[in-house]
A and B are shown apart, each in its own frame.
Chain A
Amino acid sequence: MSSGATRSITDLFSFLGGRRNEESPEPGAATASGAEEPVFPTKALQKFLTCLASKDGPALLDLGPVVGSNVTFFGEQLGCRFRVEDVYSDIEKHVKAGTVDDLPAFFATRFTQPPESVDGILCWDVLDFLDRPAAQALAAALTKMLKPDGALMGFFSSAESREQTYTKFVVVDEANLRYRHYPASRPRQRSLLNRDIIKLFEGLRVSESYLMKTHIREILLRKPAYPTK
């Protein structure tokens, strides 16, 4: 075969390959029925469910907005007592009222749950939207609420982004989440490093940590069954 013919076949393949790349969505993303609601894999959710599966009627706290299908999913998977406390809407209210500086004090009294009464917390990416003192206050309140051997699942952006959208994480199944964006009045704050997260959740230990292709670090934190002295 002549070199010219070889080149032309190579060109043809590269042409086809190029087209395929143009058409394919972002790595890791599978577009759902709506083009604006991509589905992304999750690793931490399955571990989170495993942590809670052994508990009888665990108490679960969701810090995101109410998603009906999530309520059904966790209820059916865990037979749990599920409470939603939308912290995103708290942030939104404070931003709109110009009282962001009051957030640390607000989080100190925000939750009515008694100490060590919650088995699992779905923290999602709420800490990305808080500055350091507010994040510290929220993390302290969550740590206090968590039962020994309880689990907290948090998502942390590993890329600096000033994007002004919140995300509703809609559970598709144990391994996939649908991201549903909605407008935010405040952009993401400085992204948290591993050591920052560990410092925030003093008293919890990192059980699992996954850096996803979406630049989200999924972290599962556990409260030791018997607190270390």
Chain B
Amino acid sequence: MENTPILRVENVSKSYNGKAVLKSVSLELNAGQHKVLIGPSGGGKSTLLHCMNYLVTPDSGRIQLDGREVNAHSRKELYAFRQQVGMIFQEFNLFDHLTALDNVAIALRKVKGQSRKEAETRAMAELERVGLADRARHYPAELSGGQKQRVSIARALAMDPKVMLLDEPTSALDPELTGEVVSVIRALARSGMTMAMATHQMEFARALADEILFMQGGEIIERGSPAELLAPGAATRTADFCRRLAEMGGD
């Protein structure tokens, strides 16, 4: 059991309208590991993360959680699987008609069957964890982008996921608001949460990642520790990509 990865992705492929978006991608996430996906837009990072939660059904390949393959044809198994794999979206996707507190509590009530009181207590604790207890009664329209993303992190954490997938969690934020989200994600990483994250923030990636996966054209074309891939003068695609990002003024 020691060596069983929490989440294993094996030869996953996906194409839309005959265009291959993922070409037989494999990766493993061990307990407590943090992997960061980087690479140009359209390289397949987002699709890969969506496949890892079965929000997108792969055309072929296997996905295993705790050594058990998910049967995507069984809705019940699929719903149970998704509860254990938290997902953070670039666009936050908060429920617009619910307060921050209810955004976090609703899945506890509807999916986990908790009482309103039980769910709200837990939701409040999660909001505290992301520093938003004082915004519990606010609606999404009354929150800043950074606050929305922190609520969405609290919402995912309340489900006690075994893994968190983060799809460019800071890309839709104004630069001055990324800091608060980054520090919440860093704290989450320190607490030992297993994570896979796509990002364009290289400093963040370098600080967080155990392994960087460079994706382009639907394939992982480079993988290694930040020290290997980003060593001064390293002749890697990753280092090259980072230099170009830096030249464009992006971090």
* Bound pair (A, B): no
